[in-house]
A and B are shown apart, each in its own frame.
Chain A
Amino acid sequence: MLEHFNKAFESKARLGIMSVLMVNESLSFNALKELLQLTDGNLATHLRALEEQGYVSVQKQFVGRKPNTTYAATDEGRTAFSQHLNALEAFIRSGAVQETK
């Protein structure tokens, strides 16, 4: 069962990023930062890792003169994250069964 745990989502920060991107079409870097309470460097590192996996897509635009980067979950990312959550759920269930024995 543990083989379904996705290494890409092992850190709490990455789980957080994926969960908010699942329910929002796209979010800016600053919105993510505020929601997850991460530092710039930390968030950027995790986002890059997820981007390299192909789970998150990045879009760079300009609002006036300010650069505005928004992030969205890719289809691949959504599938992978759902699978990871299912594995997590199954894992918890199995634990609960063991405890009641």
Chain B
Amino acid sequence: MDSPNQSLETLTEIRDLMQRSSKFLSLSGLSGIFAGIVALAGALVAYLRLKTDALSYDGMSNVSALTRGEMMRFVLLDGTIVLILALIFGVFFTIRKARQSGQSVWNNTSKRLVFSLMIPLVTGGIFCLAMFYRGILWVSFPATLIFYGLALLNASKYTVRDVEYLGICEVILGLISLFMTGYNLLVWALGFGVLHIVYGTFMYFKYDRKR
């Protein structure tokens, strides 16, 4: 311990190590932006095909163009494609960012992050499938938002704090959507599309650009 300056450096290093070892910081803002774009595209396709009111609580009874079965298969397919594309973009940009900053992608913290994300997410997924199975289509839209928000909230302890706020916003939107079923698709597009793009852009300028 030669000088206060040197000690200060040591403290900074300790702090950095503590953060790096307990939080996964390679999440990229670009992942959010692309996930948002994919979700908006998915919502648009669904809107063009179904017209929104068919997804509301009241609209379920008077389905015109499509039969219930067709509609369910379509929504399921559309949702799955959106999810897969968003995941692919998310993983791609995360790996890219980790490589750029010379960190590994699959380590202790990212494992914990994925684990804490997956439990609420898989629960939500099974819940929505059960609702589909029972023919209650409209619930799935708010439910995906709520469970996704809870998953983010749960996972936020292992990454940057901002994820927590995104999670809270998704949960609030999902709860609102439960009572405004006529706007199901619109609120869903707002939550998965617009919020992701806003969050992604914010994250990109806050963390990615500096490096």
Which one of B7, B21, B22, B108 lies within 8 Å of A92 (CB-CB)?
Answer: B7
Compute how far the CA of A89 lies from the CA of B3 in the bound complex, rounded to whole angstroms.
12
A89 nearest CB neighbor, chain B only: B11
Q: Mark B1-20, 1 if CB is under 8 A from A, else 0.
A: 10111011011011001101
Taking a contact as CB atoms under 8 Å apart, the answer to whether A22 and B1 are in contact is: no
B3 nearest CB neighbor, chain A only: A95
Interface residues of A in 41-87 (CB under 8 A from B): 85
Give every chain B residue within 8 A of A34 (Cβ-Cβ): 104, 107
Taking a contact as CB atoms under 8 Å apart, the answer to whether B4 and A91 are in contact is: yes
Give every chain A residue within 8 A of B107 (Cβ-Cβ): 31, 34
Taking a contact as CB atoms under 8 Å apart, the answer to whether B108 and A19 are in contact is: no
A94 nearest CB neighbor, chain B only: B4
Number of A-B contacts (CB under 8 A): 57
- Size band of the A side of the interface? 20 to 34
Closest chain A CB from B108 CB (angstroms): 5
Which one of A24, A31, A85, A96 lies within 8 Å of B14 (CB-CB)?
Answer: A85
A8 at the A/B interface (Cβ < 8 Å)?
Answer: no
Interface residues of B in 1-51 (CB under 8 A from A): 1, 3-5, 7-8, 10-11, 13-14, 17-18, 20-22
B1 nearest CB neighbor, chain A only: A5
30 contacts between A and B (CB under 8 A): A10-B1, A12-B13, A15-B13, A15-B14, A16-B13, A16-B17, A19-B18, A20-B17, A20-B18, A20-B21, A20-B22, A22-B18, A23-B18, A24-B21, A24-B22, A24-B108, A34-B104, A34-B107, A35-B17, A35-B20, A36-B17, A88-B7, A88-B10, A88-B11, A91-B4, A92-B4, A95-B3, A95-B4, A96-B4, A99-B4
Q: Which residues of A contact B (CB under 8 A)?
A: 2, 5, 10, 12, 15-16, 19-20, 22-24, 27, 31, 34-36, 85, 88-89, 91-92, 94-96, 99
